[in-house]
Structure 1
Amino acid sequence: MKKEPRHYIGDKDIQVIIGTLLRVGVYTSLAIVLLGGVIFMAGHAGKAVDYASFRPQPAGLASIGGILKGLFSLDGMAVIQFGILLLIFTPIARVVFSIFGFLIERDYLYVGIGLVILAIIALSMNGGFTH
């Protein structure tokens, strides 16, 4: 029997996959933000805007749970916030994928560097160090 040659994932393959991941993440985020804008505008058509007073973002949209809750009820602001969250998480997904790529290549120095970067991102998203 003739053995099939094994196909190994190389640097070029990983770069193409990461590039595609970033592109798809940005385009998906754009589509979701546009959809949220359409939903928001449809729900607020004809309302007068009062520029004299500032009203901050609703407290429900300040957490991921609140955004997901608003997303399922098709709240336009929540859909926009979800698109922005997706845009923020796209480069984080790139770091995670890069770590797995370096693991495949057995380049443990860069795996360690990627894990440090991921830890810094996680720490900063949770408020950083508190005194």
Structure 2
Amino acid sequence: MRIQVIIGQLLRIGVFTSIGIAFLGGIIYLTRHGHEVVDYATFKGIPDYVKPSNIFTSVFELRGRAIIQVGIMLLIATPVVRLIFSAIGFAAEKDYRYAAITVLVLGIILFSMLTGKAG
């Protein structure tokens, strides 16, 4: 029963933290770029500071879009961490069937995220 409370708090904290981070990034982005006129006629590609390899250095440079992206990444990671805690909880309760199903779902999600294949 204790693990369910921890999982509930984990989800709540993860969602509210990701919303706060994305909101902060949005404020930073709008204060710096809110006055710019967007040109949808030309595609400029993905900026270097938003790519996963550069995202955390861009956060320390206080780039708004990078901070928003970290908030979104945290929002995506929250249910994955929930699955990890659920698998641990099921294993601790010796409910190996549900632990195996949870690990299978976790494996499918991680495979899809890392390879870009959805099925």
Worse-matched range after superposition: 103-112 or 80-89: 103-112
Aligned residues: 117
Larger Rg: 1
2:78 to 73, 87, 90: 90
Alignment of 1:41-120 (within 5 A): 41-63=30-52, 65-120=53-108
Bigger mean CA deviation after superposition, 41-50 or 79-88 = 41-50
Amino acid at match of 1:80: I
Question: Once the 2 structures are TM-superposed, how far is the Cα of residue 59 of structure 1 from its aligned partner?
Answer: 4.4
Q: State yes or no: 1:23 paired with 2:12.
A: yes
CA 1:91–1:47 in 2, change beyond 3 Å: closer, same or farther? same
> Which residue identity does 2:39 align to in structure 1?
D
TM-score, normalization by structure 1 = 0.79
TM-score with structure 2 length normalisation? 0.86
Offset, 1:53: 2.9
Indicate yes or no: 2:25 matched with 1:36: yes
Give 1:68 deviation, angstroms: 1.4
Give the Cα–Cα distance (whole angstroms) in 1 for the partners of residues 107 and 116 of structure 2.
11
Question: CA shift at 1:50, angstroms?
Answer: 2.3
Greater shift, 29-38 or 103-112, is seen at 103-112
